[in-house]
Amino acid sequence: MTNSRRRFLKLSAGGVVGLSMGGISLKAFAAEQVDPESPQAKALQYVHKSAKEGQNCANCILLQGNDGDAWRPCGIFPGKLVASEGWCAAWAKKPG
């Protein structure tokens, strides 16, 4: 095996490990729930339980993560989890 080929294989293996570890750290980073009393949450009127019929984080286009999870990442609150039953003023209906 040539030296450049070995180097390529080592770098490729390192990249795969780095990518998989990146996913782990993103999950850990998004582990804290949004505090409704935080300045950002207050500015967006975020609540853990929506009072608006038919509007909640679970059917908002900004919500990320897996359907069915009670707490999920949101594009509006980076690094935080919002309640699927929650709501904020940035709510926008998910298509479909």
pLDDT at 78 over 80: yes
pLDDT at 3 over 80: no
pLDDT at 19 over 50: no
Joined together, the tokens standing for residue 31 give 């582990």
Beta-sheet pairing, 71-73 with 32-33: unpaired
The CATH label, of 3.30.1380.20, 4.10.490.10, 1.20.1300.10, 1.10.1660.10, for the domain at 31-96 is 4.10.490.10
CB atoms closer than 10 angstroms to residue 36? 16
Q: What is the residue extent of each domain of the chain?
A: 1-29, 31-96
- Report the pLDDT value the prediction gives residue 31, as an integer from 0 to 100: 72
Report d(CA 48, CA 56) in Å as an integer. Answer: 9
Q: Which residues pair with 83 in a beta bridge?
A: 71
